[in-house]
């Protein structure tokens, strides 16, 4: 299926990029990042226009985010029942909820591109938690701009070697994710120590 989607990019690039990023933001198993890399390569060879490719992928991602947010906000009980039917889904949803609680708007932003496996579940968690629409939109759109620009841009630059582009994206994002986790743990440790220092005085 992935090979077919990549080969179909030259003919259905704009529509395919929109649908793929849209479905990926609803937790559907589609190769959105790989397709954006390939789309960038097609832009480099002149088979796809840059602006249309970027905008279609970006609009699909934003539409998918808001669809997930609205589904969760309007059907919280049904969503919770669906998530608990699978231990894997329940685990990822719990991680997304914890990430949202600890990081707030920055968590929404980072889940778009740095911790992208959490992205769709962050949409659901934001809807269930009734995160203000303006806040969800602001951090979500900024994050999607980074995600789309990163992958389409890498595909464009490394059009002759997409496997290198994919490896580079994985390595860089992995390093950044590790740094964020270390920073988060450091912040938590400082706050925890402060609470312990204040506790005897109360």
Domain that holds residue 180: 2-201
Name the pTM for this structure.
0.84
- pLDDT at site 116: 87
17 pLDDT higher than 90: yes
C-alpha triplet 139, 175, 149: angle, nearest 5°:
45
Tell me the average pLDDT across 66-95: 89
- pLDDT at site 66: 97
Q: Could you tell me the pLDDT band of residue 195, with boundaries at 50, 70 and 90?
A: low
Per-residue pLDDT tens over the stretch 28-64: 999 999 999 999 999 999 999 999 999 999 999 999 9
Compute and round to an integer the Cα radius of gyration of the chain: 19
Is residue 165 a contact partner of residue 157, using CB atoms and an 8 Å limit? Answer: yes
Spatial CA neighbour of 39 closest among 49, 30, 29:
49
Give the separation between CA 142 and CA 101, rounded to whole angstroms.
19
72 pLDDT higher than 80: yes
3 pLDDT higher than 90: no
Rama region for 130: left / alpha / beta (φ>0; ψ in -120 to 50; rest): left
Is residue 20 a contact partner of residue 35, using CB atoms and an 8 Å limit? Answer: yes
Higher pLDDT, 176 or 75: 75
Per-residue pLDDT tens over the stretch 106-125: 999 999 988 888 999 999 99
175 pLDDT higher than 70: no
Strand (E) positions, 13-117? none
Per-residue pLDDT tens over the stretch 114-154: 888 899 999 999 999 999 999 999 999 999 999 999 999 99
Across all residues in the chain, what is the average pLDDT? 86
Q: How many domains does the chain have?
A: 1
Is residue 67 a contact partner of residue 127, using CB atoms and an 8 Å limit? Answer: no
């Amino acid at each position: 299926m992935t090979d077919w989607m990549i080969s179909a990019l030259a003919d259905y690039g704009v529509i395919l990029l929109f649908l793929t990023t849209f479905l990926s933001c609803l937790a559907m198993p589609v190769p959105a990042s790989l397709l954006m890399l390939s789309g960038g390569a097609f832009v480099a060879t002149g088979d796809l226009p840059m602006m249309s490719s970027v905008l279609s992928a970006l609009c699909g991602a934003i539409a998918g985010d808001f669809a997930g947010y609205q589904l969760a906000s309007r059907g919280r009980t049904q969503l919770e029942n669906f998530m608990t039917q699978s231990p894997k889904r329940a685990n990822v949803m719990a991680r997304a909820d914890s990430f949202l609680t600890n990081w707030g708007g920055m968590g929404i932003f980072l889940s778009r591109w740095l911790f992208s496996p959490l992205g769709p579940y962050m949409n659901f968690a934001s809807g269930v938690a009734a995160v203000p629409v303006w806040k969800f939109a602001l951090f979500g759109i900024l994050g999607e701009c980074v995600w789309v620009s990163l992958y389409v841009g890498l595909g464009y630059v490394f059009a002759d070697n997409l496997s290198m582009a994919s490896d580079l994206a994985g390595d860089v994002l992995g390093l950044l994710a590790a740094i964020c986790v270390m920073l988060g743990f450091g912040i938590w440790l400082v706050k925890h120590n402060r609470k312990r220092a204040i506790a005897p005085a109360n």
